Amino acid sequence: MTETKKIRVLIAKPGLDGHDRGAKVVARALRDAGMEVIYTGLRQTPEMIVEAALQEDVDCIGLSILSNAHGALFPRIVELLTGEGRNDILLFAGGIFPDEDVPEIKRLGFRGVFGPGSDTRDIAAFIRTEIAARGPVRG
Amino acid sequence: MTVAAELVARVEAGDRRALARLITWIEDDDPRAHAALAGLYPRTGRAHIVGVTGAPGTGKSTLVSALAAEERKRGRSVGIISIDPTSPFTGGALLGDRIRMMEHIADRGVFMRSMASRGSVGGLSVSTSDAVRALDAFGCDVVFVETVGAGQAEIDIVRTAHSVIVIEAPGLGDEIQAFKAGILEIADVFVVNKADREGADKTANALKVMLDVGNTMKQRRGDGPARVPAPSAAEAGHHGAREGNFPAEAYAPTTDATEWRPPILKTVAAERRGVIEVVDALDAHWRHLRESGAITQRERERVEDEVRQLLGRTLTRRCVEAGGLERYAALVDAVTARALDPRGAVEALIGAWVAQRKEAG
Ligand code: B12
Ligand SMILES: Nc1nc2c(ncn2[C@@H]2O[C@H](COP(=O)(O)OP(=O)(O)O)[C@@H](O)[C@H]2O)c(=O)[nH]1
Ligand SMILES: [Mg+2]
């Protein structure tokens, strides 16, 4: 009678970037893959995103940026999460990133980076694999 | 210290990460949540619990956000639980209520949590009352619970609130949606939101007519609920003249001052208009529940309901576990094959549990 633990995901759009199609497509796809997806809407500051992640106690955060503002926003989000003692949360990102930036994004702790044309089934599979490898996150 | 005891201490100290984790355990039906809730129970029973329900898109989340802002102005801390449906096909859920509530994110006096309905029978109302209790123990003065006014599970949840707001909005067809869903009866305050749109007066009027009819029938049968008085005109106006102030209407034709007449209030939640009146009505209802003593009865009914639900769930689990899942499946097969009747299967399951208890001494 015990259910398997539901994966809770926060999908957020940091900064002033108004491109939200991709984030919505991914949010819906993850719901259809059986996850509980919290969508915060557009124009979120790093502080807002981290606070939402804490209150919702999510397993992972997916950030969507197409405006090339990741250089300032991503490190700040990682810094805030670390300050709250929550760098156990799985991080990944999607949108448009210059190829040369991807290694730096990964070095910050983002385990997956998904560009235009990414298959949403791959995104769902990536989350499952990563979460399974981490063991019980809500211990 | 046990994990649960440590969590209790952290929640009591106002650690919102601990509160968030406790709600996760509650949702997962984790035994650590049961232990922590037992520890927190003496600290609960202080918050005013407000249920907010209505058809999708009527503006529940927007209104709750606006109500939270007004409650904060009155110096109260606020907890919010918004429930969205889990897809019965995929088990997933898209929880979007937070979009309308982000204005409070930097305010430590507001804690908001999205919950998916998850679909286990009876499980939703149990986990919702536990989550509300967690917010209560955390120190929230007011807890709003937003549910889509659809199924019985949602009605059961809002029924456990002290005060219930039912929202309607113009433009959803001529029908009163709450009437279709059977939730008119549980309202303490009616809100017609989107009063900036055409048809709001028509909707308010349709509500009034429907309620007048229902009320007359109840009075004739003499079985109307024991209700308490609505806020007096003087009370409703105690904030003085304001802009964007909509007149309140109390629908019931009765002149009995001991009855609560659910007011019908118009709001434009998106512009925070009419919101002060809604909080005034909630305050008045809360005050009257306590002053008339109706709160004791409501509370007792709520507790009894919860104990009964928990008893059912706990016994079910223990009986099934006592005989093992395979035996349970075999019994269901036997009933399907008409080799056994359903009550016979239940007796067999209870028998297995009793036998197990005896063995354990
Ligand atoms: C549609 C579009 C718009 C629409 C946006 C509508 C909307 N509500 O989203 C409109 C017309 C409003 C628009 C406006 C602008 N746009 Co525009 N826009 C596009 C365009 C053509 C397609 C984007 C899109 O929706 N794709 C479809 C979705 C489904 O794909 P996606 O977002 O890439 O998402 C996929 C992946 O990236 C990934 N993904 C995305 N997010 C996430 C999140 C997670 C967690 C994960 C795992 C994966 C993931 O998975 C998705 C599925 O595969 C792109 C060019 C392009 N081909 O990408 C330019 C583009 C993004 N826009 C651009 C620009 C410059 C602008 C404007 C500044 C133009 C202007 N001067 O006014 C404005 C800015 C608007 C604003 N406020 O931010 C540039 C950005 C350049 C840059 N990065 O430096 C682009 C790249 C065009 C270009 N080549 O110059 N735009
Ligand atoms: N015109 C108008 N739109 C509103 C009002 N309140 C909310 N809305 C909009 O109605 C839509 C649904 O609101 P939401 O709060 O998400 O509704 P819910 O599904 O009942 O929680 C959103 O686009 C809101 O911006 C209002 O008073 N007037
Ligand atoms: Mg809502």
Lowest mean pLDDT among A59-68, B65-74, B204-213: B204-213
Looking at chain B, which residue has its C-alpha nearest residue A124? Answer: B92
Task: Average the pLDDT over B234-239 and give the result.
Answer: 43
Out of B17, B92, B99, the one facing A84 most closely (by C-beta) is B17
Beta bridge partners of A93: A63, A113
pLDDT at B240: 40
Looking at chain B, which residue has its C-alpha nearest residue A84? Answer: B17
Given a cut of 80, whether residue B224 has pLDDT beyond it is no
At B144, which helix (H) or strand (E)?
strand B142-148
Q: Is the CB of A114 under 6 A from ligand 1?
A: yes
Q: Is residue A121 part of a domain?
A: yes
Percent of chain B whose predicted confidence (pLDDT) is above 90: 55
For residue B235, the tally of other CB atoms under 10 A from its CB is 14
Given a cut of 90, whether residue A26 has pLDDT beyond it is yes
Q: Which residue owns the Cα nearest ligand 2 atom 17?
A: B59
Given a cut of 60, whether residue B89 has pLDDT beyond it is yes
Nearest ligand, measured from the Cα of A97:
1
Mutate to test the interface with A, among B94, B127, B321, B349 (most CBs of A within 10 A): B94
Beta bridge partners of B50: B144, B163
CA angle A76, B101, B90 (to 5 degrees): 90
| Least Cα separation, residue A23 to chain B (angstroms) | 12
Q: Indicate left, alpha or beta for A117 from its phi (over 0: left) and psi (-120 to 50: alpha).
A: left
pLDDT-derived band at B213, boundaries 50, 70, 90: confident
Given a cut of 70, whether residue B173 has pLDDT beyond it is no
Q: Is residue A98 part of a domain?
A: yes
Q: Is the CB of A116 under 6 A from ligand 1?
A: yes
pLDDT at B342: 96
Q: What's the pTM value of the predicted model, to 2 decimals?
A: 0.90
CATH of the domain at A69: 3.40.50.280
Q: Is residue A114 part of a domain?
A: yes
Task: Kindly report, residue by residue over B36-49, the tens digit of the pLDDT.
Answer: 999 999 999 999 99
Burial of B1 per CB tally in 10 Å (0-12, 13-18, 19+): exposed
Domain count, chain A: 1
**Residue in the structure block whose two tokens are 């009605």:** B155
Task: Average the pLDDT over B339-345 and give the result.
Answer: 96
Q: Is residue A137 part of a domain?
A: no
**Residue in the structure block whose two tokens are 């239940």:** B346
pLDDT-derived band at B82, boundaries 50, 70, 90: very high
Q: Is residue A2 part of a domain?
A: no
Mean pLDDT of chain A: 93
Given a cut of 50, whether residue A3 has pLDDT beyond it is no
pLDDT at B123: 66
Task: Kindly report, residue by residue over A98-133, the tens digit of the pLDDT.
Answer: 999 999 999 999 999 999 999 999 999 999 999 999
B85, HSE (Cβ side, Cα atoms, 13 Å): 13
Nearest ligand, measured from the Cα of B53:
2
- CATH class of residue range B42-292: alpha beta
Q: Is residue A139 part of a domain?
A: no
Q: Is the CB of B123 under 6 A from ligand 2?
A: no
Q: Is residue A3 part of a domain?
A: no
Q: Is residue A138 part of a domain?
A: no
DSSP string, B266-298: E-BGGGTBSHHHHHHHHHHHHHHHHHSSHHHHH
Residue B167 in 3-state DSSP? strand
Q: How far apart are CA B236 and CA B112, in angstroms?
A: 29
Out of A39, A51, A85, the one facing B105 most closely (by C-beta) is A51
Given a cut of 70, whether residue B257 has pLDDT beyond it is no
Interface pTM, i.e. ipTM:
0.94
More confident: A33 or B187: A33
Q: Which among A33, A58, B336 has a CA at the least distance from the CA of A12?
A: A58
Q: Is the CB of B133 under 6 A from ligand 2?
A: no
List of chain A residues whose C-beta atoms are within 8 Å of the C-beta of residue B112: 55
Out of B23, B92, B112, the one facing A35 most closely (by C-beta) is B92
Give me the sheet containing A36-39, strands edge to edge.
A110-114, A90-95, A60-65, A8-12, A36-39, B93-95
pLDDT-derived band at A5, boundaries 50, 70, 90: confident
| Least Cα separation, residue A44 to chain B (angstroms) | 9
Given a cut of 60, whether residue B232 has pLDDT beyond it is no
Task: Average the pLDDT over B242-258 and give the result.
Answer: 50
Ion ligand 3: residues, Cβ under 5 Å:
B 60-61, 97
Given a cut of 80, whether residue B325 has pLDDT beyond it is yes
DSSP state for residue A1 in the 8-state scheme: -
Host domain of residue A74: 8-132
Lowest mean pLDDT among B114-118, B331-335, B341-345: B114-118
Mutate to test the interface with B, among A7, A30, A31, A87 (most CBs of B within 10 A): A31
Task: Kindly report, residue by residue over B287-321, the tens digit of the pLDDT.
Answer: 999 999 889 988 888 888 888 888 988 899 899 99
What stretch(es) of chain B map to CATH 3.40.50.300?
A: 42-292
| Least Cα separation, residue B129 to chain A (angstroms) | 17
Residue B93 contacts residue A39 (beta carbons within 8 Å): no
pLDDT at A52: 97
Q: How far apart are CA B67 and CA B110, in angstroms?
A: 12
pLDDT at B65: 98
b vs e for A86-107, b when ≥16 Cβ sit within 10 Å of the residue's Cβ? beebbbbbbbebeeeeeeebee
